[in-house]
Amino acid sequence: MRDTHSNSLGWLLDQELGSVEGVEYAVLMSSDGLLQARTQTIGQEDAEKLAAVTASLRAAGKAWDEHVGGKGMCQLLIESQGRIGLTTAAAKNSMLSVVTTGPDSDVGLITHHMVRLATRLGHELEVGDRRPAAGGGTAT
């Protein structure tokens, strides 16, 4: 298992989102749920679970958008009693997901930082297409 915080993108998430008031943790993942990077405030195993759950929610959001005749999903927001979850496209084949410290967090401010990071550094956040390996498995 590779540590997704010690890579340069983990450091970048800490720098750009970890210091924003109201952000508990953030993860960067491929569109199909493979964890790419995480802030230091979430452990590897929990970050992998969040990435997988987020990919499922993204699929549901895309289906909802198609059902209502939308023009593409931009952001996913989940509000629970204790937290708010925000997910946005980060670059080709990648998503950025943030969990807030509480329900009173400034969602506008956090979203601004998420979009700013994705816009400014989209090429670094991009995840390549996965292709089947020669033996029939999936390569990354």
Q: What is the pLDDT of residues 3-59, one digit of tens each?
A: 666 677 888 899 899 899 999 999 999 888 999 999 999 999 999 999 999 999 999
Asked whether residue 101 carries a pLDDT value surpassing 80, the answer given is yes
CATH code: domain of residue 24: 3.30.450.30
The pTM of the full predicted model, rounded to 2 decimals, is 0.82
- Domain count across the chain: 1
Cα angle 72, 33, 58; round to 5: 25
| Strand partners of residue 138 | 132
The answer to whether residue 32 is domain-embedded is yes
Segments forming the whole domain that contains residue 39:
8-128
Pick from 86, 83, 85, 72: nearest CA to 115: 86
Would residue 133 count as lying in a domain? no
Would 76 be classed as within a structural domain? Answer: yes
Separation CA 32–CA 55 (nearest Å): 6
pLDDT (tens digit, 9 = 90+) per residue, 64-95?
Answer: 999 999 998 888 999 999 999 999 988 878 89
The reply to whether 70 falls in a domain is yes
Q: 3 lies in a domain?
A: no
